[in-house]
Amino acid sequence: MALVQLDAKDYCYGFWFIRGKGKDFLACVYKKEGVPDWEIVYRFRYYSDGNVWDSQDRKSGYKIVILEPDVAKLAEIIEESLISYIEFEFCSKAEFVLVDGNGLATVEALKKSSFAHFR
């Protein structure tokens, strides 16, 4: 399940990742080119094995669409609500990766993260 698929001209603000015992949480804020709305996509993953690829882990994904012109304000709202709640539930702090760029910038930023896997 791909959390987000960005084209070259789409804009990504960033990703949040929270690892819990036997589970993790991943969220992304992005905007498709020519669309005024921000999309917040997130998923929960519950581990069933140790595989990164071809895993039988259970995943559930969600999407929220918000018309908020100020991405910094939007990120603040996400941090104060969704992220703080998941941190509490998972007993773990979020890792945030600021992208502030297009699809290529997204790949480069995620390559430096501790949680993204590429093949």
SS (H, E, C) 42-108: EEEEECCCCCCCCCCCEEEEEEEEECCCCHHHHHHHHHHHHHHHHHHHHCCCCEEEEEEECHHHHHH
Task: Decide if 100 is inside a domain.
Answer: yes
Task: Decide if 83 is inside a domain.
Answer: yes
Task: Decide if 3 is inside a domain.
Answer: no
Task: Decide if 1 is inside a domain.
Answer: no
Contact 10/96 with Cβ under 8 angstroms?
A: no
Task: Decide if 79 is inside a domain.
Answer: yes
Task: Decide if 118 is inside a domain.
Answer: no
Task: Decide if 106 is inside a domain.
Answer: yes
Q: Which of 76, 14, 17 is nearest to 44 (CA)?
A: 17
List the pLDDT tens digit at each of the 119 positions of the chain.
Answer: 567 788 888 999 999 999 999 999 999 999 999 988 999 999 999 999 877 777 888 999 999 998 877 888 889 999 999 999 999 999 999 999 999 999 889 888 988 888 887 76
Q: What is the pLDDT of residue 49?
A: 84
pTM of the model: 0.88
Task: Decide if 2 is inside a domain.
Answer: no
Q: Which residue segment(s) compose the domain that 66 sits in?
A: 12-111
Q: What is the pLDDT of residue 61?
A: 93
Report how many domains make up the chain.
Answer: 1
